Structure formats: C-alpha cells, structure tokens
Structure 1
Amino acid sequence: MLDLTQTFIDALHRLETERDVAAIAGLFADNAEIANPLVQYESGGPNAAKTFWSQYRDAFEEIRSEFRTVSEKDGTAFLEWTSKGSIDGKPFTYEGVSILETGGDKISAFRSYFDTRHIPTARSKGGENTGRVQLSSQTNGGQTNGGQNQTDSQASGNAGDASEEDMVQAQRDAAEQRAGGGYS
C-alpha cells in the first residue's frame, strides 16, 4: 500500500510540474470513486480520474503539493498536505487531507477534504498553451444564482450537456458561492 501511495504522490508531482495526466489517471481502478468538495465521480475509473486531474491542474497557473503526514492502515492511506500556487498571479495556500483506498494494485477510491475558501476566486483569461480555459461571459438572460452568473447548461443542471469548460466554470462558481457563505 505504501508503494502505491508513494507512486500516487510522485504522479501528482509530475502532474503539477509537467501536466502529465496519464501517470496519475492510470493508478485508478476501473470502478474507482473520486471526490473532493467541488466534484464527485461515483464509479468513473481512469476516465473520470483523467477528467478530474486535468481539471485540477488546469485550474491553477502553478501548484505544488507537499505531504507532511502519510499513514496507512488496512488498505487505506491518509495523506495530510499543503498546496501552494497561483491563479492569475494571485498566490494561495490551502491545506487538506486526502484518503486513498486500494483494491489490489490500483486506487479504488480517492477522497479529498479541504476548505474551498482558501482558493482564490480569480477568473482566468485563458489563452493558448496556458492550460486554462477561456471563461465565457454569456449568462442565462442575465440571471444569477446567489450573485453568480450562470451559463445555460449550469442553470438547467444538465451535466450531460455541459462541456469541460462549463464544468470548470461550475467548479469555480461553486467555490465562490461557498466562499461567500452559500452552499451549492
């Protein structure tokens, strides 16, 4: 288990420095569950892991996670970490705990817990080769939800029709709403 945990940490560092999504996504079992305070995949496996970790990395200009405590018991690893980075030139630091559960030589569940208020709510201008999406200013008839603009796909709640850009925007809007004391 500790070997898989160290492989996960190494793959996360490769994702953060080199944007290597394949290394970390390949660690997840076919029915793996993946969740954090912003998103949840109940049984998406490596494809969900690829989406999850791509969106994680694309949300930041720079990000680096350091693990201060790693422990394991009965096929479950507990990782206490601090992540530092920047979004649109604004530095941030946030801390949390991640839990890895294994099924054989693969990760069967990944859950991460952190306070979303510690991540800046900066908006990216995106652009070529930045790994960041261009955020749309289109709103749903100018209507807002809790002071947050919504795209048509967000307002309908139909995630099946949402593009990856819409998903990233929804995650940012949820973080902003939580930071303002609301719940999405």
Structure 2
Amino acid sequence: MEDNDIRQDVTREFVAALRAAEQKGDVEDLVALFSDDAELFRLDGAGTRRGEAQEFWQQYLDQFKEISTQFTYVVEGDGDAGLEWQSTGTLANGRDIDYVGSTFLTFEDGKILGVRTYYDTAAFLEVPASTG
C-alpha cells in the first residue's frame, strides 16, 4: 500500500510519524498527533491507558533494536481508520521478529482520540530449543 492510497490526513500523518519514530527512535512527532486524554490499547496486558501516549509509544519502541512496519491495507471512515500491517526487525534481545497485526484509530479535529492495536503476541515468545 502506498501512502497516497490513504485519503485522510490524520491517517497519513500517523503512518508517517510511526515510520519516522521507528527509524529515529524518537516518538515526539507521533505523540503530537494524539489528544491529551487519548485512549491507547495494545495486547501487552496493561489494558487501556488514557493520556499516556508518550509512554505507550516509547514502550513500543523499547522492545526492539530495530523495527520497520509496512502497512498493507487501510479502511477509512468518517473519524476512524483501520490499518493492517506487517512489522519486521530485531527484538532488544537480538532475536529476529516478523509479525502482523491491525491498528484502529479514532480521531476528531485532526487529533487521534484513540488507538487500539491487535497483533500476533506469539511472535514475542521465546521458543525453547527442542530436546527431541
């Protein structure tokens, strides 16, 4: 999917800011897209967070030595968007990772009010060597 396939400015800005954060390791531009009380959720057991965009995205980046996300599909509505993606990279422990997921955004007046991210959590599990 090319960025020019994305119709809504907020969705396009989110994609660009996430890519920049992954490349530079700086989440400031990404965080600036979110309202102060945005609801944030991902499958990490922490549940829904409110107003913690800085921590949310920094914790995301801290899992990796390097990571790159390719967006493969987008559906946009009036005030929301759904994005499918695939991320590849290296975890902080040096293990390679390749996983897929979906991110759902809600927004209003140019600010992201909520993000919900669902992904293959099994990709993060350490698989013990077979003793077979």
Structure with more relative contact order (C-alpha pairs < 8 Å, separation 6 or more): 2
Instruction: For 1:160-179, list aligned pairs within 5 A.
Output: none
Q: Secondary structure at the match of 1:13?
A: helix
Give, as a single letter, the amino acid of the residue that structure 2 aligns with 1:69.
Answer: Y
Counting matched residue pairs gives 119
Note closer, same or farther for the CA distance 1:103–1:40 as it changes in structure 2 (3 Å cut). farther
Distance 1:109 1:74 in 2: 14
Instruction: For 1:147-162, list aligned pairs within 5 A.
Output: none
The residue number in structure 2 matching 1:107 is 112
Q: Secondary structure at the match of 1:61?
A: strand
Q: Which has the higher helix share?
A: 1
Q: How high is the sequence identity, in percent, across the aligned residues?
A: 37
Q: Is the 8 A contact 1:90 1:120 kept in 2?
A: no
Give, as a single letter, the amino acid of the residue that structure 2 aligns with 1:57.
Answer: L
Distance 1:75 1:32 in 2: 14
The residue number in structure 1 matching 2:65 is 61
Give, as a single letter, the amino acid of the residue that structure 2 aligns with 1:53.
Answer: W
**Which runs of 5 or more residues in structure 2 are unaligned?**
1-6, 128-132
Q: Is the 8 A contact 1:34 1:42 kept in 2?
A: yes
Q: Is the 8 A contact 1:34 1:109 kept in 2?
A: yes
Q: Secondary structure at the match of 1:74?
A: coil
- What displacement does 1:83 show? 0.5
Distance 1:84 1:71 in 2: 22
**Which runs of 5 or more residues in structure 1 are unaligned?**
123-184
Q: Secondary structure at the match of 2:39?
A: strand
- What displacement does 1:77 show? 0.3
The residue number in structure 2 matching 1:32 is 38
Give, as a single letter, the amino acid of the residue that structure 1 aligns with 2:117.
Answer: S
- What displacement does 1:112 show? 0.3
Give, as a single letter, the amino acid of the residue that structure 1 aligns with 2:50.
Answer: S
TM-score, structure 1 normalization: 0.61
TM-score, structure 2 normalization: 0.84
The residue number in structure 1 matching 2:11 is 5
- What displacement does 1:51 show? 0.4
Q: Which has the higher strand share?
A: 2
Distance 1:41 1:14 in 2: 25
- What displacement does 1:120 show? 4.3
- Tell me which structure has the larger Cα radius of gyration: 1
- What displacement does 1:103 show? 1.9
